[in-house]
Amino acid sequence: MKAPHSCIDLRKTATNNFPASHFTSPLKMTTPQYDLSNTLPPHTLTRLARDWLAEDTPNFDPAGLCVGSHEVEARLLCKTACSVLAGRPFFTAVFTELSCTVEWAHKEGAQLGPDAVAQTAVVRGPARCVLLGERPALNCLARASGIATRCSQLQSIAREAGWHGHVAGTRKTTPGFRLVEKYAMLVGGVSMHRQDLSGMVMLKDNHIWASGSITQAVRDARSVCGFSSKIEVECGSREEGSEAATAGADIVMLDNFKPQELHAAAQLLKEEFPSVLIEASGGVTPDNLPQYLSPHVDIISLGCITQGCPVVDFSLKVQKPVAFPIIFESQ
């Protein structure tokens, strides 16, 4: 029986015929133990929060008349067991814009559960402001926590098999929401990969076809990116990988290889170009990830980290005021 998507599913047997002791990729990765919110510029959080609030309430808020501005307390509940909490800075930024406060019961990256419902935070502020921020804030938290949960599962699968390379995300992110999703990858313990087209040169099949050859594309890219940027080339065969490495590529991506073909090609490339990093991508899922683990593969990137990733179910419940009985003095 497979574990639910929200619980860590440790697949203890890699099917690549390599002993666990041989998984010695030069790249190391551990789950960060420091405060990742320090990577997020305050002005960026403010801008995003304002944009999300403006999108959800571009003009009038008729329902705000019903609740007014009296102070209320709302409890944030997580209703997906075994989830990793991610997105606190974005959630808090939304409510800060609305003059509300957030008191957290759990740290960023904490696993929530195993109870079916876990109280995660308390939001306090004017009633209409709490409700204005409810949906934008929950959207951020649900999406970020879902991605972090999946990343944690993938990282656990790789580490349980004894592999020490990078599990990585991709640029297949939601438009306008990339910062949240990339941040969630960090919380979940995997590599973000490049954040955008400016972060690293990746020459894909369309670039190669438009340039005429892998060698020409690498030379042209190097002429403008200089020494400060790495160049990665998407390759469909070992021969293409060899051409890319010979031309000066720093990373060779073996794209859409079957597991056994991947292992053979990666081994030959590593023997010929020991300093070149090898990335596997295409068709990798949480279920088949163990088949792609290899001592000759440094990076495995998965689009499913963001595409089709389940969200974590959160709700925000305003607490009803306590009704005190009216006591009449006896006459």
What residue type is assigned to position 23 of the chain? Answer: F
* C-alpha span between 325 and 2 (Å, rounded): 52
The DSSP element (H or E) to which 134 belongs, if any, is: helix 127-160
Q: Which residue has the tokens 């990969």?
A: 193
Q: What is the rounded CA–CA span in Å between residue 189 and residue 26? A: 17
CB-based contacts of 161, cutoff 8 Å, min separation 6: 11, 12, 13, 14, 20, 23, 290, 293
Instruction: Describe the crossing of helices 127-160 and 42-56 by its angle, rounded to 10 degrees.
Output: 120
- Which one of the listed residues 172, 258, 270, 317 is annotated catalytic? 172
* Axis crossing angle, helix 238-247 with helix 214-225, rounded to the nearest 10: 30
| Owner of token pair 């929401």 | 177
Question: Is 172 one of the catalytic residues?
Answer: yes
CB count, 10 Å around CB of 212? 10
Kind and range of the H or E run holding 218: helix 214-225
Cβ distance 251 to 273 under 8 Å? no
Active site residues: 172
